[in-house]
């Protein structure tokens, strides 16, 4: 039985071929999407679909017998339920008439639905909480580093200000010393000028004494 035959088999019960085709498509799509996402879809009395990871291994090429390395992969797997197995083995008989072979699953027995969604939501919430915590820790570290940098900058500025004040004071002291030296310099010059006057007086006195001696 292929898909088209399956649709024809349930067309009368679904109200038409179009409705039956849509029902089959939606059921298969839901199963495939759940298995690809890593969820396990289980239908009581029928079986379960799940994703299985196969590790890398070596296999034999059936045509050449050559040993070939097979990469790690994931494959879908179907496990028949006990009710399905019992019907196939013949330990149970198929129901007659319009009764379905696979009975309706009890409420809450279908996996891959609400329970899995809740688990996924919890995981997502935990992951989000971890990200928020990591962001807060990073923000604290950044703030601490910024404070240290600001403190270091303030110390450097204070040192520069002190150095500027010291330099300014030194310049003022040097300027005052230069002014004092400049004021003292003219006094020495005046003294030097007065010295020749004393020599002239001494010469006049000597000349007077010589004249007096000659007169006597």
pLDDT digits (tens, 9 = 90+) for 53-71: 999 999 999 999 999 999 9
Residue 49 lies in a domain: yes
Residue 212 lies in a domain: no
Residue 211 lies in a domain: no
Q: What is the CATH number of the domain that holds 34?
A: 4.10.520.10
Would you state the pLDDT for residue 99? Answer: 76
Residue 38: left (phi > 0), alpha (psi -120 to 50), or beta? Answer: left
Give the max Cα distance, the chain: 186
Would you state the pLDDT for residue 73? Answer: 94
Q: Is the pTM of this model over 0.85?
A: no
Residue 207 lies in a domain: no
The number of distinct structural domains making up the chain is: 1
> Which DSSP string do the residues of the chain spell out, in sequence order?
--HHHHHHHHHHHHTSHHHHHHHHHHHHHHHHHHHHTT--EEETTTEEEEEEEE--EEEE-TTT--EEEE--EEEEEEEE-HHHHHHHHTSSPPPPTT--SSPPPPTT--BSSHHHHHHHHHHHHHHHHHHHHHHHHHHHHHHHHHHHHHHHHHHHHHHHHHHHHHHHHHHHHHHHHHHHHHHHHHHHHHHHHHHHHHHHHHHHHHHHHHHHHHH-
Residue 144 lies in a domain: no
Strands 73-80 and 41-43: unpaired
Residue 96 lies in a domain: yes
Strands 41-43 and 47-54: antiparallel
pLDDT per 10-residue tile (average), the chain, 216 residues:
93 92 95 95 93 93 92 95 91 80 59 50 64 62 68 67 63 67 49 48 60 59
Residue 140 lies in a domain: no
C-alpha dist (Å) from residue 105 to 45, 61, 119, 192: 8, 43, 21, 131
- Inter-residue contact 190 to 196 (CB < 8 Å): no
Would you state the pLDDT for residue 53? Answer: 94
C-alpha dist (Å) from residue 46 to 31, 42, 101: 13, 8, 9
Residue 61 lies in a domain: yes
Domain that holds residue 54: 3-112
């Amino acid at each position: 039985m292929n898909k088209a035959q399956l649709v024809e088999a349930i067309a009368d019960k679904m109200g038409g071929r179009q409705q039956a085709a849509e029902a089959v498509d939606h059921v298969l799509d839901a199963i495939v999407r759940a298995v690809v996402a890593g969820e396990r879809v289980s239908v009581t009395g029928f079986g379960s679909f799940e994703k299985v990871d196969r590790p890398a291994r070596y296999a034999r090429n059936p045509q050449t017998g050559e040993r070939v390395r097979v990469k790690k992969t994931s494959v879908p797997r179907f496990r028949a339920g006990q009710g399905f197995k019992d019907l196939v083995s013949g330990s149970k008989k198929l129901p007659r008439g319009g009764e379905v072979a696979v009975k309706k699953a009890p409420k809450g027995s279908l996996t891959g639905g609400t329970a899995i969604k809740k688990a996924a939501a919890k995981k997502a919430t935990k992951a989000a909480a971890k990200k928020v915590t990591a962001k807060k820790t990073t923000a604290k570290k950044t703030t601490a580093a910024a404070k240290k940098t600001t403190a270091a900058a303030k110390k450097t500025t204070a040192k520069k200000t002190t150095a500027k004040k010291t330099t300014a004071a030194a310049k003022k002291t040097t300027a005052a010393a230069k002014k004092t030296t400049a004021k003292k310099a003219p006094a020495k010059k005046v003294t030097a000028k007065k010295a020749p006057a004393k020599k002239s007086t001494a010469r006049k006195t000597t000349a007077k004494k010589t004249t007096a001696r000659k007169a006597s």
